[in-house]
């Protein structure tokens, strides 16, 4: 359906295999036909900033240029935020500071850029956070409960047309304990449980909810390379009906049945009824 308001939940470092095994709420929506699920292949390198930029520009890192987490530069337009703003719509984000850097202002000012309300940038309403001084014994902050409720508060106060919700807890826990650990699996269940509480609220407010990840995580607690466990992630479209597991066919990804992460940006724009720029060459999923 065109012209919908969209929430994109971006769960950092949620790999395909553990997602299907631990996300009981989201998989229950698929089983009940209320959500569609694709296996998606991340861009390379399978790192945060490259994938964040690709998820919103629809271009590979080799083209958009954000090929390392250590760059302090904005993503090139057009992207989902800029297209929505050019159409007179409002955008919002509850996200880690790299999103503020990519889409609002660079370099990131840890005081001035932490919160934006009715701002002039691509993100109209922003609530950003950092992972400064995260440790192995305190890795999963900010908590997913607070992130989801902050997103609900932005919807209640501002009714943005596009809202990004970005959780980094699984990534932090995965780096500390590895993907083959109780801690990583439990943290995945934790956000799935928070989404079980939040998604019905967002849907009742008129939003279509998409859920995906930037990259996976290896058993030793790393990502960035081309291993399957680092690259394959889920993409859920909580569409309400005609759901189920989807086959991406031969064309969508590097392996049969998969779709490319570059399809996310044009999918969002199509669902919102917005024009898809020529730089976004992957076919939309919806
Ligand atoms: Zn990471």
- In the block, residue with structure tokens 């609220």: 201
Q: What count of other Cβ atoms lies within 10 Å of the Cβ of residue 47? A: 22
CA distances in angstroms from 101 to 17, 32, 62, 114, 247, listed in the order given = 31, 39, 19, 10, 35
> Which residue, 22, 86, 95, 74, is CA-closest to 274?
86
Beta bridge partner(s), residue 9: 165, 211
pLDDT tens sequence across 222-264: 999 999 999 999 999 999 999 999 988 765 445 778 999 999 9
Pairing of strands 36-41, 258-260: parallel
pLDDT of the residue at 185: 97
CA of residue 241 to ligand 1 center, whole Å:
34
Q: Is the pLDDT of residue 286 over 80?
A: no
Closest CA to 82 of 162, 165, 153: 162
- Dist. CA 5 → ligand 1 center (Å): 29
**Residue 216 CA, ligand 1 centroid: distance in Å:** 8
Answering whether pTM is above 0.75, one says: yes
Could you read off the pLDDT of 184-194 as tens digits, one per residue? 999 999 999 99
Ligand 1 center from residue 213 Cα (angstroms): 11
Q: List the domains of the chain with CATH numbers.
A: 5-271 (3.40.720.10)
- Cα distance between residue 171 and residue 148, in whole Å: 17
The Cα 25–Cα 31 span in angstroms is 10
How many angstroms does the Cα of residue 176 sit away from the middle of ligand 1? 10
Average pLDDT over residues 125-153: 90
Residue holding tokens 């009906």?
241
Measured distance CA(180)–CA(57) in Å, rounded: 32
Say what the pLDDT of residue 250 is: 67
- In whole angstroms, give the CA distance from residue 189 to residue 134: 21
What is the whole-number distance in angstroms between the Cα of residue 281 and the centre of ligand 1?
27
């Amino acid at each position: 359906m065109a012209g919908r308001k969209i929430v994109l939940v971006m769960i950092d470092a949620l790999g395909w295999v553990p997602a299907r095994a631990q996300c009981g709420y989201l998989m229950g929506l698929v089983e009940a036909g209320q959500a569609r699920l694709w296996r998606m292949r991340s861009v390379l390198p399978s790192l945060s900033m490259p994938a964040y930029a690709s998820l919103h520009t629809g271009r590979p890192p080799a083209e958009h240029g954000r090929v390392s987490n250590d760059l302090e530069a904005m993503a090139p337009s057009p992207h989902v935020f800029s297209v929505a703003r050019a159409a007179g719509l409002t955008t919002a984000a509850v996200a880690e500071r790299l999103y503020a850097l990519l889409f609002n202002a660079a370099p990131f000012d840890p005081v001035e850029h932490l919160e934006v309300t009715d701002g002039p940038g691509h993100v109209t309403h922003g609530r950003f956070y950092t992972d400064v001084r995260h440790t192995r014994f305190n890795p999963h902050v900010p908590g997913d409960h607070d992130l989801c409720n902050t997103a609900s508060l932005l919807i209640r106060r501002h009714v943005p047309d596009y809202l990004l919700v970005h959780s980094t807890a699984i990534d932090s826990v995965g780096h500390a304990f590895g993907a083959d650990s109780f801690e990583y699996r439990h943290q995945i269940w934790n956000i799935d449980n928070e989404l079980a509480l939040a998604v019905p609220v967002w849907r009742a407010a008129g939003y279509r909810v998409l859920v995906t990840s930037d990259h996976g995580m290896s058993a030793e607690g790393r990502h960035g390379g081309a291993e399957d466990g680092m690259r394959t992630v889920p993409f859920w479209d909580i569409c309400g009906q005609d759901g189920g597991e989807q086959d991406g066919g031969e064309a969508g990804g590097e392996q049969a049945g998969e779709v490319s992460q570059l399809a996310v940006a044009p999918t969002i724009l199509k669902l919102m009824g917005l024009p898809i720029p020529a730089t976004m060459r992957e076919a939309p999923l919806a």
